[in-house]
Amino acid sequence: MSMNLEREQTPLPTTDVGPTKSSMLTKILYGGMVVSFLVAIYTIFMYAEIEKTMGAVQKIFYMHVPSAWVAFLAFFVTFVFSILFLFKRKRIYDTYAYVSAEIGVVFTLIVLTTGPIWAKSSWNTWWAWEPRLTTTLILFFLFMAYLMVRQMDGAWDKKARLSAVFGIIGFADVPIVFFAIRWWQSKFHPIVFGEGPSQEGGGISSTMLVALLVTIAAFTFLYAYLLHKGVSFEKMRIKVSQYKQKLRESLEN
């Protein structure tokens, strides 16, 4: 009995909450995100010219395209860390893959939301079952399945292995989404950089290109910040779970 009381009174190990390299990285990513978003807002609404045909509604382009870029980047990171996990079996790789997949699903949902809004103005319809929209929807469902696997009951390593396979297979749809309008010659979806076999796109003006690149940089900073914070939270959740398990075992002994 005395031994159990001693174990119960023994404080659990704590982590240093003072300034660390991690906190410095958080500040850098947060600062870069804030500054780049402020510049992006200026370039979108003050610097970039208004498109002649669609008018101001075209500016949703600066939300739609960077969101797609972040979704592709997030799923690529999931793909890479899923492979690393299958080879190395290190939980940190699984954590990065999982958090990145969550971010990717959120930004894919943004793509699927902003796309129909833009489509209504340019195509006069909310949705068309054209190649890129359809393959993007499939990509969304593939990674929703990935997240559902993560929520199943069972040992974390078994779920991690199964979800890693989903992450690798799911990423195969990313290049299909990108090349869909080039392979199937969609009459709806615009091709800005390259069109069809000739790869001769309509292009955009220099001010629009600057606004797009700045916005992509801002969204990339946002992704990096969310990934860093998400991994930190997931590591804390795992630690708390491990402490609970140790405490439960000590009380049972």
CATH number at residue 162: 1.20.120
In a domain, residue 101? The reply is: yes
Q: Is residue 1 part of a domain?
A: no
Q: What is the pLDDT of residue 250?
A: 77
Looking at the chain, the whole-number percentage of residues with pLDDT higher than 70 is 81
Which residues, listed in sequence order, are joined to residue 51 by a DSSP beta bridge? 55
Question: Does residue 8 lie in a domain region?
Answer: no
CA distances from 11 to 7, 28, 239, 243 (A): 9, 34, 15, 11
For range 9-36, the mean pLDDT: 66
What is the average per-residue pLDDT within 142-151? 90
Angle at 79 between CA 74 and CA 82, to 5 degrees: 120
Judged against a pLDDT cut of 80, whether residue 228 lies above it is answered with: yes
Q: Are 192 and 201 in contact (CB under 8 A)?
A: yes
Q: Which domain holds residue 160?
A: 25-252
Digit-coded pLDDT (tens) for 159-169 = 889 999 989 99
158 lies in a domain?
Answer: yes
- pLDDT score for 198: 44
Mean residue pLDDT of the chain comes to 81
Residue 9 lies in a domain: no
**Averaged pLDDT, 98-116:** 93
Number of domains in the chain: 1
In a domain, 49, yes or no: yes
At 130, the pLDDT band (50, 70, 90 cuts) reads: confident
Among the residue ranges 49-58, 206-215, 219-228, 232-241, the one predicted with the least confidence is: 49-58
Position 178 in a domain: yes
Angle between helices 2-9 and 206-252 (to 10 degrees): 160
